[in-house]
Structures are given as C-alpha cells and as structure tokens.
A and B are shown apart, each in its own frame.
Chain A
Amino acid sequence: MTKIELQINGKLVCFESESRTHLGDFLRETMNLTGTHLGCEHGVCGACTVEINGAPARSCIQFAASCAGYEIRTIEDFGDDEVMMQLRDAFSKEHALQCGFCTPGMLITARDIVLRLSELTSPDDEARIRNELSGNLCRCTGYQGIVQAIQSVLRLRAMKVKNDH
C-alpha cells in the first residue's frame, strides 16, 4: 500500500492504495468518478483520457501512486467550462456520439485540440483534426460528427475573437 496525495477536480485527496492501481481504476473505484471510462487498458483506445497537470493523458497507464502532487481533472470537473459547454452543444447538434462510451475521452481530447490548435478553422484543416483525434477510438459514429463538432467549435471561437476585436 502506498499513500497517495494528489488533487482531483480541485480537491486535495489523501488515500492509501496499492502501488499497482492505475489512475483510471483509482478515479472510478476509490473516488467514484465513473465518468472516466476504461476500454483497452493499455493506452490505445483513449476512453480513459483525463487532464493531468493541464494536459490530456491516459489514466490507464499511469499508476495513481506515481501521480503524487499532481492535479487531475476528470470529465466531471468541466461542467462550467466554457469550451466544454460549447463542445457539448456541438456534439449534441452534430450527432457526435451514439453509445457515449468514448465521449468523456473524446471531449478531453477535443478541448485540447480547440485550445492548443485554435488556428485550425479552415475546412482544409479536417485532416489535421482527424490526425489529432487518432488516439481516441469511436466504434459508433465513424468520426464524421465528432470532427464536424470540433470544427464548429473552432470556428465559433475564432468568430468570437474576431468580433471582440
């Protein structure tokens, strides 16, 4: 057992856990934050993607005990987040989900794309968005709706920036 002290969704958490417990299991089973989904558990499918220290990361191949002192944000913490609200609306409008299993990870990755690559507003940028999205697997949608949703948020935000000036 290892003592873990880390910040989860803005709260300092102190817990005892087995060293081998990965962060995804810790979030779901100890913290009851079941919005983070576990698919492949070896870093390929992207369903477990959360934000660690401000950047998206796989929670299934990180051990919770190695995350001492880190700040973790799961999908549950983005209720009032501006970009996430825009993405949720766009995902709904563009039919970017069906079963919803990949959606928490998709949204974390989509938010990173929107904030880090805000210049991808041209229709020609679709390939790059698909490339950036390649680490999150969706077996329902065929990705078209997800890509359109992300593109619409990128355009919406670019428009807002333009209008604000």
Chain B
Amino acid sequence: MKSAPFTLSAPVNLEEAIASFREGGMYSKFIAGSQSLGPMLNLRLSQPDNLISLRNLPDLREVTDVGDSIFIGAGITHAEIEDKKILDPSRGLMASVAANIAYRAVRNFGTIGGSLAHADPASDWVNLMQLLDAKFLIVGSYGEREVTSNDFMQAAFTTCLKEDEILLGVKIRKLSVKAKFAYFKFCRKVGEFAEAIGAVLVDPELGIKRAIIGATAGTPFLIKNIDAVINGQTGAMNEALLEAGCNDDYEYQMHKTALERALTQAKL
C-alpha cells in the first residue's frame, strides 16, 4: 500500500504548472486534494513518473459572481461547499450533496475540480454538474476553452481533458426561487461511493427541466423523455433505465428506486 516512486513538483501559477507537464517527457499527472488520486497511487492503480501539485495555485481558488451564473474554482473543497463558505448558485442543493460525500476528513481536502477530473461515475459532483448543466472551464498551453457537462465526461474515469490541460472550475446558473430539486443516492455504507443515484431539477423561470440516472457504468445519463418520466409514465422510465445501461435486475431496481425517490422528494 505504498505508492510507486515519483517526483513531485509544486508550481505556484498556472503557466508554470502547464509548462512543467512537458518537462523531461515523463508521464505526469496533476494532483489537487489527493483524496482520489492518493488512494489510486497507494494501490498502484496509477503510477506516474511525476506529480504536479495544484494546491498552491490561487487561480483555482476563485469563486465569482458572473451575472446569471456563479463560477466555482476547481480548488474549492467539498467542506467549503458543505459549510456554505462560498457563493451558492443552487439554493442549497450543492451544500446538501457535499455534506454526503465520503467523510469529513476527506471533504476537508478533496476538491470539486479533482473529483470532476477523476470522473468516477459514482461520485457526486459529476452527476450533480450534469443535473445543473454546468459549463466546464479548461486551460491548456493554447489558452482557455469551455465545454458543456455533456461533453466533459466521456466515459468512466475518462474526460475530455487533454493530458496537459487543467480544469479551472465550473460555471453554474443561479437557480430561481421557483426551482424544485432533489438528489437521492443509495450507498451500502454511509460515505461510500453510491450504488445508484437519481436526481431531478425543475426551474420554470429558467426553463430547466432535467433528471439524471447516475452511478451507472458510464457517464451520468440525462433523461431525454423528461416530461413523461416526471408525469410517472412507467414506459418512459423503463426506457430511460435501459438506455442508461441498467440491464440486470439489481441495477435496474436500485436506479429505478433512486430516481423515483428523487422525483417524490422534489415535490414537483
């Protein structure tokens, strides 16, 4: 349970971090709070030659009000979101989800950006960002680019980030007072990764109507036939679950119940 050897660099700004990726032609990886990649390294599932710590980058700690949205820097920790220490676009939804990520000792260091870049299908932020239709701001040697939540995560543990790109943060629209939402997850034990996630968000003022099936084998599944599912049409829900890849009875039942509970809790 000890990591394979690696060298460690700790750049103090983004330019330095991106530049250090190219040095020496080594296999490098970025690391932030160390709560996902740390275990992966200890288990030797990941064996980079070089780790580039993003901890000291002030750019990743920014939270700003950008008109109709809030930008949340990738380096903000789950605990900071749980404790409502930053601006909240989601009327409490993000704080309540953050409070149930792993354990407090993990939340104190784990970052929203690190979790998103790690892209575990069962992690909360990849699912919630898909629900909230977040925009992902990415920086690389060429400059910045913005991608949608649909395009960011491509498969389990796979994102659109090129190897020398860094996730700067996410931009989330401010929900209106009329927004209704719920996020439900099944965990075998408190704090473990979810077995199944169901979540729904309806904001009539912003014209948002979204629901997801999460913790599948792949990306968070955005339900297409949303009106029918919200209205409780079993055929539509069945179709969505199968399309999301819930093929065996256990997966199907867990995800179906998670989604149904979210729909009930949202009191649409």
> Chain A: residues with CB nearer than 8 A to chain B?
2, 18-20, 22, 25, 40-43, 46, 49, 52, 55-58, 60-63, 65-66, 68, 109, 112, 130-132, 134-136
Contact = CB atoms under 8 A, between A and B. Distances in A.
Nearest to A105: B105
Contact of B8 (A2, A49, A109): A2
A142 B7 CA distance: 42
B129 to A, nearest CB: 23
Interface of B: 1-8, 10, 31, 34-35, 38-39, 41-43, 51, 53, 55, 79, 102-106, 108-109, 189-191
A20 B39 contact: no
B173 to A, nearest CB: 31
A42 B191 contact: no
B103 A135 contact: yes
A134 B103 contact: yes
A42 B5 contact: no
Which 10 pairs between the two chains have the least Cβ-Cβ distance?
A: A135-B103, A61-B38, A41-B1, A134-B190, A42-B39, A19-B8, A55-B108, A20-B3, A56-B105, A134-B191
Contacts of B35: 43, 58, 61
28 contacts: A2-B8, A18-B5, A19-B5, A19-B8, A20-B4, A20-B5, A22-B38, A40-B1, A41-B2, A41-B42, A42-B42, A43-B35, A52-B109, A55-B79, A55-B108, A56-B105, A58-B106, A58-B109, A60-B1, A62-B38, A62-B109, A63-B51, A66-B10, A66-B53, A66-B55, A109-B105, A131-B190, A135-B102
Nearest to A109: B105
Given A57-B105, A57-B108, A66-B53, A42 B43 contact: yes
